[in-house]
Amino acid sequence: MPTTSPPPPAARDPWPEIDRLGADIGVDVAPCPTWYNAGKVVFDYAVALAALPAVLLVMAVAAVAVKLTSPGPVFYSQVRLGLGGRRYRIIKIRTMHHNIELKSGIKWAKTDDDRVTRVGRILRRTHVDELPQLFNVLLGDMSLVGPRPERPEVIAAKGLERLVPGYPARLLVKPGVTGLSQVQLPPDEDITSVRHKVVYDLYYVRQQGLLLDARLCVATVLKALGASPRLIRRVCLLPGRDAVAAEFRSTLSPAPVGQPLFQPA
């Protein structure tokens, strides 16, 4: 069977060893067994409960702003895929015009997306719209830190499991309100951006730990305050692209006979 060619890289910083990686290459990933794998839920509940009073106050202000500037409900929910592919409903503050997907269809949000309201742009930039996900953490559907949860409709429509090496391995851990890929890379806009993010996600799957989670929580606050990914990486001692790529290379399965590991540029 011929190898499925990956999509051409988008106009961003090139990452040849990821951009040109054959979509059919096997990726062998398993979370490294540590005490933290079993005890992470304690960290999640402790931080979520401690943050809840301040979060409720911020959410109340955001809810009033949304209600006064845009018709429709303040909150909305969507089906996302969680640990092991289990479906759950994520809770967020609405940042787009009500029922806009009935007109636009399902697609990734862009930086200048006209579906987003003026207040919604502020909520997205500061990540305030994500705060209701603390309730998903308390319900056990999510973790504070982990890969970004995706909609099953988007996974199917974009062919992510087929075009992105290692994509299903993201579901080996609970999805997170924040995560390594979220604080270091821009939002998904195309298949290439997803391929880049999965490399970071799989680094987290294999290297998750208490100190890394604590640093990523601090990194999230810095990002909400407008800090650049480079500054966040330096201040929070996060792994750089080379370290993340090296970890990813160690998960690649040998290419079948006659199948190239990389596609021609």
What is the rounded distance in angstroms from the CA atom of residue 132 to the CA atom of residue 60?
11
65 occurs within a structural domain = yes
**Residue 8 CB neighbours (<10 A):** 11
Q: Above pLDDT 70, what percent of the chain?
A: 91
173 occurs within a structural domain = yes
257 occurs within a structural domain = no
256 occurs within a structural domain = no
**Cβ partners under 8 Å of residue 84, min gap 6:** 171, 172
**Structure confidence at residue 2 as a pLDDT band (50, 70, 90):** very low
What is the rounded distance in angstroms from the CA atom of residue 177 to the CA atom of residue 130?
7
Q: What is the pLDDT of residue 255?
A: 52
Question: Does the predicted model carry a pTM greater than 0.85?
Answer: yes
How many structural domains does the chain have?
Answer: 1
8 occurs within a structural domain = no
CA dihedral 21, 22, 23, 29 (to 10 degrees): -60
4 occurs within a structural domain = no
pLDDT at 3 over 70: no
Q: What is the pLDDT of residue 193?
A: 92
CB 214 within 8 A of CB 260: no
5 occurs within a structural domain = no
186 occurs within a structural domain = yes
CB 134 within 8 A of CB 48: yes
Over residues 40-54, the pLDDT tens digits come to 999 999 999 999 999
Residue-number span of the structural domain to which 228 is assigned: 25-249
Q: What is the pLDDT of residue 243?
A: 95
Q: What is the mean pLDDT of residues 75-83?
A: 94
